[in-house]
Amino acid sequence: MNNIFLVGVGGFIGSVLRYLVGNYLHQSNRDFPFGTLVVNVVGCFAIGFLSHLAEAHGMFEEHTQSFIFIGILGGFTTFSSFGNETIKLARDSQVMNAFANVSANVILGLIAVWLGRALAAMVWR
C-alpha cells in the first residue's frame, strides 16, 4: 500500500510538471508541439540516467524507484518508460522485440487515437 501512495504522489508531481513545462513552451510556439517533445526527451534522459544509477550502482531502494520511475516520470511522460523498456530489450539482445515494441506502440497508438476520434464523431454528432 505504501508503494501505491508513493506512485500517486509522484504521479501528481510529474503531471503538474508536465502541465507547467508544456504550457510554457506551447505559449512561445504554437506551430509545433515543442512542449510534448521537450517533456518526452527530458523524461527519456532522466529515466535513462536514473535507471543506470539504480541498476549499476544500486542507488535507489524499491520504494524510491516506484516514486521516481513510475510516479514522477510516469506522470511527466509515459514515453520515458517506453524508451527505457525498448533500450533494455535492445541491450539484452532482443533487437526484434525492441523493434516490435517501437512499431507496435507507434502504429497501434496512432490507430487507437484515430479509432477513438472516429467513434466519438459517430456517437456525438
| Per-residue pLDDT in tens (0 to 9) along the chain, 125 residues | 899 999 999 999 999 999 999 899 888 877 777 888 899 899 999 999 999 999 889 999 999 999 999 999 999 988 888 898 999 999 999 999 999 999 999 999 899 889 989 999 898 87
60's CB contacts (< 8 A; 6+ apart) are 50, 53, 54, 68
| Whole-number Å distance between alpha carbons of 73 and 37 | 15
Instruction: Give the closest residue to 6 by CA, choosing from 56, 79, 61, 78.
Output: 61
- 124 and 63: one domain? no
H helix intervals, the chain: 2-28, 34-57, 62-65, 73-76, 79-91, 95-123
Query: What's the pLDDT at 111?
Result: 93
Place of cell 497501434: 108
Q: pLDDT at position 61, please?
A: 94
The pLDDT assigned to 36 comes to 85
41 and 71: one domain? yes
Q: Note whether 79 and 118 are same-domain residues.
A: no
User: Within this chain, do residues 64 and 14 fall inside the same structural domain, yes or no?
Assistant: yes
Q: Is 110 helix (H, G, I), strand (E, B) or coil?
A: helix
Q: Which residue range forms the structural domain that includes residue 125?
A: 96-125
Q: What pLDDT does 95 receive?
A: 96
**DSSP state at residue 69:** I
State the pLDDT at residue 26. 84
Is pTM beyond 0.85? Reply is no
Write the DSSP symbol of residue 94.
-
Distance (Å, whole) CA 34 – CA 40: 10
Question: What does the pLDDT read at residue 78?
Answer: 81
Overall domain count for the chain: 2
pLDDT score at 33: 79
Q: In the numeric block, which cell numbers belong to residue 86? A: 525498448
